Amino acid sequence: MVWRRAPPNPLESVRESYMGSYPSPNRDRPMTQTAPITQDVLTIPRKLPDGPINLVGLTRNALREVLIAHGTPEKQAKMRVNQIWQWIYQWGVRDFHAMTNLAKAYRAQLAENFVVTIPEVVSKQVSADGTRKYLVRIAGGHEVEVVYIPETDRGTLCISSQVGCTLTCSFCHTGTQKLVRNLTAGEIIGQVMLARDDLNEWPKPGEPAGERPRLISNIVLMGMGEPLYNFDNVRDAMKIAMDGEGISLSRRRITLSTSGVVPEIAKTAEEIGCLLAVSFHATTDEVRDTLVPINKRWNIATLLDTLREYPRLSNSERITFEYVMLKGVNDSDADARRLVQLIKGIPAKINLIPFNEWPGSPYQRSDWERIERFADIIYKAGYASPIRTPRGEDIMAACGQLKSATERSRKSRAQIEAEAGL
Ligand code: SF4
């Protein structure tokens, strides 16, 4: 696979306006415009040249190591990790001076060497249906999108794992954006933290656990990027999300969606143990090769063989098969019947996704009657086949539409610059 070097971002020097009231801890920091964007998919170094170390995204072991390396006595390290962890991930506190169960001198020592910082919210849009979309800036000036979808019985946060994507699925707008880089674990868990900030979801220090309803009850790794091409960072971030002393989300409330990176699937079961969703979208290799080109590398039969093992390895109930409904492409009765045959023996749910059109998209959404008929065939074969209600379409936050707003805002800024004679 050919990885590309990131093109220079012409907008790095453009300060964008804040549409929300997010109290970003980064707001007064200088932008890290010159942070190195390393070749390929390597993540940027955690410690930027001459900068303090960001504690967000470190595993407990890594946190212990950096504390010891910066003067915490080894015999105190475990206790310090617990205390700092709780402040950061349970209470959402990012100022060392507010960590009141630490001695003043120790707080000052921490502040000298470390920061607790998360990606910066550049803008927030709220859809008529309550869906929130955040445009988020990470080190290097790049942007990813994060979507919060409130429902009656849950609140789902859709997070990104890469800037852009290499996989060029032909129905997906994100796939038209070249990969820039992988996100660090801190940038991945940071998306959860910034959404908690915006939703005012952090409990107050000392508040008993479970006092307030969880606004973010579920995380889905379905935003920009292929999570299994950034495995280690995704794993570390999700371990932090699951840690009982912090954000404390059950592994059954985290769903990782892959296009079918077969070699990493068993590892996902063993090292993360979350639920798995697969962007399936077709019932023949011929069609899937076009819609999800990674199929040329790992075809339907190979993928299904691997998926059959997943529930046992991860001790999870079922796999979600995502199936985007494209008019005249993959939505026939024969497709529905083939799908049922293919997944036979796999505990599964099939999520039918009415295609969300984006400017220049080569496909159309299947007619509603067609989607219902397709769902009916699957349902009668014994599988749950919910039709996903498009959410946040008015702000281009629906599935497969991410990136669009970024592009639009880029265009308008370019226009503004042109008008200003820049
Ligand atoms: S569907 Fe997922 S894997 Fe495919 S191009 Fe879009 S973001 Fe990448």
Q: What's the pLDDT tens digit per position in 140-196?
A: 888 899 999 999 999 999 999 999 888 888 888 876 777 788 999 999 999 999 999
Residue 9 domain-assigned?
no
Residues 80 and 161 reside in one and the same domain: no
Q: Residue 59: its pLDDT value, please?
A: 97
Residues 210 and 105 reside in one and the same domain: no
Q: Which member of 120, 145, 187, 201 is catalytic?
A: 145
Residue 29 domain-assigned?
no
Query: Tokens 């969606």 identify what position?
Result: 257
165 lines ligand 1 (CB under 6 A): yes
Residue 137 domain-assigned?
yes
Domain that includes residue 92, residue range: 53-115
How far apart are the CA of 397 and the centre of ligand 1, in A?
Answer: 15
Q: Which of 178, 179, 220, 279 to mutate to test the pocket of ligand 1 (most atoms within 8 A of CB)?
A: 279
Helix axis angle, 231-242 to 185-198, nearest 10° = 40
Cβ neighbour number for residue 251 with a 10 Å cutoff: 17
How far apart are the CA of 257 and the centre of ligand 1, in A?
Answer: 10
Q: Residue 50: its pLDDT value, please?
A: 63
Rounded Cα gap, residues 212 and 208, in angstroms: 9
Residue 399 domain-assigned?
yes
Strand, coil or helix: 216? coil
Q: Residue 401: its pLDDT value, please?
A: 56
Residue 177 domain-assigned?
yes
How far apart are the CA of 168 and the centre of ligand 1, in A?
Answer: 6
Q: Residue 236: its pLDDT value, please?
A: 98
Specify the number of domains making up the chain. 2
* Amino acid identity at 247: I
Residues 106 and 159 reside in one and the same domain: no
Q: Residue 20: its pLDDT value, please?
A: 26
Residue 19 domain-assigned?
no
Q: Which of 167, 230, 234, 279 to mutate to test the pocket of ligand 1 (most atoms within 8 A of CB)?
A: 167
DSSP code string of 278-289: EE---SSHHHHH
pTM for the model stands at 0.82
174 lines ligand 1 (CB under 6 A): yes
Residues 193 and 258 reside in one and the same domain: yes
User: Which structure tokens are listed for 229?
Assistant: 């091409």
Residues 239 and 366 reside in one and the same domain: yes
Q: Give the residue from 69, 95, 115 where a domain finishes.
A: 115
279 lines ligand 1 (CB under 6 A): yes
Rounded Cα gap, residues 326 and 123, in angstroms: 31
Per the annotation, does 172 bind a ligand? yes
How far apart are the CA of 279 and the centre of ligand 1, in A?
Answer: 8
Q: Give the residue from 87, 115, 143 where a domain finishes.
A: 115
Q: Which atom of ligand 1 is nearest to the CA of 166?
A: 8
Residues 103 and 124 reside in one and the same domain: no
Rounded Cα gap, residues 336 and 324, in angstroms: 12
Residues 102 and 129 reside in one and the same domain: no
Per the annotation, does 169 bind a ligand? yes
Q: Residue 313: its pLDDT value, please?
A: 74
Residues 211 and 359 reside in one and the same domain: yes
Q: Which atom of ligand 1 is nearest to the CA of 259?
A: 3
- Which residues of the chain, if any, have pLDDT below 70? 1-50, 175, 209-210, 316, 393-422
145 lines ligand 1 (CB under 6 A): no
Residue 145 a catalytic site member: yes
DSSP symbol at 45: P
Q: Give the residue from 115, 132, 163 where a domain finishes.
A: 115
172 lines ligand 1 (CB under 6 A): yes
Within 13 Å, how many C-alpha atoms sit on residue 156's CB side? 19
